[in-house]
Structure 1
Amino acid sequence: MKAPSKAPLGTLFWAFTRIGLLGFGGGPSMIPLVREEVVKRHAWLSDEEFADILAIGNTLPGPIATKMPGYIGYRVAGTLGCIVAVGAVIIPMIVAMIALLTVFSRYRDVAWIRGMGQAVVPVVMVMMGQLAWDFLDKSQLVLGWLVSLAMAAAAGVLIYLLGVHPGLVIGGILAAALLRPMPRKAGAS
């Protein structure tokens, strides 16, 4: 794993401000935006590092919308980077929430205002579907299609049919990965 590039604080601030401004729908809808900024646009992290951060962030308590920027900011620019990234994400959300709730409370009975709120749901679903497909595609490279699909199916059964909390499923997968014996390298004694 190569060392991540050191991010300038100004660039970090604007990257996470864009995420804060465009991440309507809460933390889960922001995940594809975070990936776009930190993996694709700025190359601060690889896809594998991003997937690891997402997995760990989902197992910890609290909102993913602040955990991921905090960790990524710290990782690429230290303690000040953590503060800048979290601030850049939450300040636009706070301002937008105050403004939109003011407008919504005043015009809540107008049909197009109600429609706007309902229109966000399919957009977030498509974004999350794309992110899930990208992670499934990447996991098949490491585990193969059969194991990847079996794990996805098992997780679906545990979560949706048996009612197991997603955090427990993710924690179990992380524990299994950590406890798995490391494969020996060829030529090692």
Structure 2
Amino acid sequence: MLAKRGMVATAQQLAAQAGLDILKKSGSAIDAPIATAASLIVLEPTSNIGYEVGGLPGSIVALLATVSPSLILLIVLLRLLFRFEDSPKVKWLTLLIRPIIVVMLGMMAWDFFSTSQAESGWLPMILIGAASFVLMQRFRLHPAFVIAGALLIGGLFMG
């Protein structure tokens, strides 16, 4: 969907219309609330579409319809895991999955690292990384606050 000052593209027409409405109202896609709303529309358009179609009840139903299958499957699998937690096979499985999770997190960190370095350069990345390490290790600051601070610095000075 096109507007005078921009364009919104999503797979869902109602999600694109919601993003376009936000763009029309503010005139700038740089504002933090608009960027947040646009991100939510891109990442999870279901509740916005549900709201457009059925108001607040439609939004709740759409959100529950999106989350419920994964939640039900997770509950069933966890109940099975706890039911057989003393089984040697389950213990072996939980020991086997830990290195896989470490490798996946490492791959995600490497991808993030290489993308950040390519876009921002070495200096900002090293400074934010060192400051984050010091804040969490020396001052015992919660990682959520460190991440929020890094996002704020990145948005203000690197965006």
TM-score bucket (shorter structure): 0.5 to 0.7
Match of 2:11 among 6, 15, 20: 6
Distance 1:3 1:70 in 2: 10
Gaps of 5+ in 1: 10-55, 57-67, 183-189
Q: Does the CA contact (< 8 Å) of 2:120 and 2:158 recur in 1? A: no
For 1:107, the equivalent position in structure 2 comes to 84
Gaps of 5+ in 2: 1-5, 15-35, 52-58
> Relative contact order: is structure 1 or structure 2 higher (C-alpha 8 Å, sep ≥ 6)?
1
For 2:146, the equivalent position in structure 1 comes to 169
Distance 2:111 2:72 in 1: 32
Q: What fraction of aligned residue pairs are identical, expressed as a percent?
A: 26
Say if 2:116 is the partner of 1:139. Answer: yes
Larger radius of gyration: 2
TM-score relative to the length of structure 1: 0.49
Distance 1:106 1:175, change over 3 A: closer
Distance 1:5 1:96 in 2: 28
Alignment root-mean-square deviation, CA: 3.7
Alignment of 1:56-95 (within 5 A): 72-74=43-45, 78-80=48-50, 84=62, 87-88=65-66, 90-95=67-72
Q: Does the CA contact (< 8 Å) of 1:6 and 1:77 recur in 2? A: no
Distance 1:2 1:154, change over 3 A: farther
Distance 1:92 1:133 in 2: 31
TM-score relative to the length of structure 2: 0.57
The one-character-per-residue Cα deviations of 1:128-161 (angstroms, maximum 9, x if unpaired) are: 2212211211111222123212322321222234
Distance 1:132 1:102 in 2: 31
